[in-house]
Amino acid sequence: MKILFSPTSPYVRKCMVMAMELGLDANMVLLPSNAHPVNRDRNIIAANPLGKVPTLFTDDGHVLYDSRVICEYLNDLGQGRFFPVAGPERWTSLTLQSLGDGMLDAALLARYEDVARPEALKWADWRAGQLDKIDTSLQALEAAPQSLANRVDIGSLTIGCALWYLDLRFPELNWRDRYPHVAAWYASYSQRPAMLANWALPA
């Protein structure tokens, strides 16, 4: 398998964490890419018209995107249990995945506001609105700590990757100070080998 890769993309990380959890990461070839919301990478677009990472090339010739599809494919390939097949647990898991992905969407929009938008066009209220989505999501998780307790599935994996990205790009948020239950969960979950792993493109 091959994956269009960026070491700081939280969505790529989500797929790589899934692959490592399932013992598939050694089979993954990392392909350099330069996804950008304005200066779009034509090499990515040739495979994925959205021009986004992750994009996965399977061994049997399929091209898959986005992270939700890729993670489900990897779970199926590795005969994993990260996607409950039916019942309330499935809907809880998928809803947590959507919450984590929504946090990442908001974080990326705020990040693009910082680094991709010209100074004269920056909109502080827009950025604040995106960060508020993250804050209200953390509030919801803090109010229901049992939703993450003892959970190892696509929901917890996605929330974990979202918190990793907040630490990477928005350390000034100091989210742990305001959300101690979420912080306690992440302190444990982040020690999983797949969460600790660092992937880098070949030199």
69 and 103 both lie in a single domain: no
179 and 101 both lie in a single domain: yes
Let me know the angle formed at the C-alpha of 163 by 77 and 10, rounded to the nearest 5 degrees.
50
Q: 125-135, pLDDT tens digit by residue?
A: 999 999 999 99
Give a yes or no: residue 197 inside a domain. no
Percent of the chain with pLDDT over 90: 89
Determine the length of the chain: 203
Q: pTM of the predicted model, to two decimals?
A: 0.95
Run of H or E including 57: strand 55-57
The confidence band for 202, taking pLDDT boundaries of 50, 70 and 90, is low
Q: What is the mean pLDDT of the chain?
A: 95
| Domain membership of residue 159 as a residue range | 88-192
- Cβ atoms of residues 133 and 166 within 8 Å: no
Q: 190-200, pLDDT tens digit by residue?
A: 999 999 998 87
The burial of 15, by beta-carbon neighbours within 10 Å (0-12 exposed, 13-18 middle, 19 or more buried), is given as buried
- Give pLDDT, residue 68: 97
Q: 151-192, pLDDT tens digit by residue?
A: 999 999 999 999 999 999 999 999 999 999 999 999 999 999
Separation of alpha carbons 23 and 18, rounded Å: 9
Examine the fold and report which residue of 51, 82, 113 is the final residue of a domain before the chain moves on. Answer: 82
The confidence band for 203, taking pLDDT boundaries of 50, 70 and 90, is low
63 and 106 both lie in a single domain: no
Give a yes or no: residue 202 inside a domain. no
The number of helices, as runs of H, and strands, as runs of E, in the chain is 9, 4
26 and 119 both lie in a single domain: no
**Can you give the CATH number for the domain in which 66 is found?**
3.40.30.10
Q: 53-77, pLDDT tens digit by residue?
A: 999 999 999 999 999 999 999 999 9
Mean pLDDT, to the nearest integer, of 90-99? 97
Q: With CA atoms as reference, report the closest residue to 12 among 132, 182, 165.
A: 165
- Cβ atoms of residues 198 and 5 within 8 Å: no
